């Protein structure tokens, strides 16, 4: 595959990354994308760090093997637990001409007031509540990254046990969200709520109903799409194509297609990874 035809790879532990994929395709309709949902091992949010690193690396290797030169981890748990380790310990030797990016930095930079870039800090002072999977919260990675990029940003990290499973299985997410919001608000008021899992935009209406009226909510799909588009403007060697899309799954394609169709209201074709 020629470099200018290489698709951008998108990895998620399940179906949540499809929210990011949809935003990316709206922002870059001429770009080729290759989506891989690791549905056989979902959700990542309850797994150990070592399991998440191994699964994420395996997914990235699969996408590299299919011609991707840039892979986006559209999974906050993978971004929290695996991204830095892959970038530091694996990528320089395994594929030094390729890149792996995550979804933390765009969200931090959006709330702190500046765009996705390789370095720089914002002094904007805000108190944010960050809703995420238990594994993402346990890692503390979002708070560490926020402190590095935006020292004025105070973070309350709140886990949402069971929420990803509920969304994947079609269970009512409202009870899980109400419990998480109550836990977050018990720690004090906030200036903004951050939905730190790519599944959570599917339940944004429930978050709005549970949170205080008027509290701003930032979720990742459009933020990540804008940031990746700007990144590709600076690194055009990683983009190209004609708007093609292929979706793969490590799970059962027929089951994944049915669930994706129920979640997003449109038919989507998946092949076996």
Non-local (6+) Cβ contacts of 138 within 8 A are 159
**Active-site option among 68, 160, 197, 239:** 197
β-sheet bridge partners, residue 11: 36, 73
Specify whether 197 is catalytic.
yes
> Other C-beta atoms within 10 Å of 240: how many?
18
Please tell me the distance from the alpha carbon of residue 245 to that of residue 260, in angstroms, as a whole number.
15
Asked about 160 being catalytic, the answer comes back as no
Longest dimension (CA), the chain: 54
- Helix-strand-coil split of the chain, %, nearest 5: 50, 15, 35
75, 160, 239, 247: the active-site residue: 75
In degrees, rounded to 5, the angle at the alpha carbon of residue 25 between the alpha carbons of residues 254 and 74 is 70
> Would you name the residues annotated as active-site residues?
75, 197
């Amino acid at each position: 595959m020629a470099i200018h035809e290489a698709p951008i790879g998108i990895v998620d532990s399940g179906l949540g990354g499809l929210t990011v994929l949809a935003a990316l395709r709206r922002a870059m309709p001429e770009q080729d994308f290759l989506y891989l949902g690791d549905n056989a091992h979902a959700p990542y949010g309850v797994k150990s760090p070592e399991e998440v690193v191994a699964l994420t690396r395996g997914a990235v290797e699969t996408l590299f093997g299919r011609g991707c030169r840039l892979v986006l981890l559209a999974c906050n748990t993978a971004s929290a637990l695996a991204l830095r380790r892959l970038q530091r310990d694996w990528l320089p030797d395994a594929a030094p001409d390729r890149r792996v990016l995550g979804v933390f930095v765009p969200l931090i930079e959006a709330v702190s007031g500046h765009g996705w870039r390789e370095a720089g800090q914002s002094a904007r002072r805000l108190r944010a509540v960050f809703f995420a999977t238990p594994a993402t919260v346990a890692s503390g990675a979002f708070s560490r990254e926020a402190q590095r990029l935006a020292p004025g940003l105070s973070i309350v990290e709140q886990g949402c046990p069971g929420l990803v499973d509920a969304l994947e299985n079609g269970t009512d997410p409202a009870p899980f969200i109400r419990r998480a919001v109550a836990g977050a608000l018990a720690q004090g008021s906030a200036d903004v709520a951050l939905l730190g899992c790519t599944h959570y935009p599917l339940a944004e209406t429930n978050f709005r109903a549970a949170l205080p009226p008027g509290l701003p909510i930032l979720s990742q799909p459009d933020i990540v799409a804008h940031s990746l588009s700007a990144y590709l403007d600076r690194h055009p060697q990683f983009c190209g194509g004609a708007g093609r899309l292929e979706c793969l799954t490590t799970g059962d394609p027929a089951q994944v297609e049915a669930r994706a169709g129920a979640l997003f209201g449109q038919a989507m074709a998946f092949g076996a990874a």
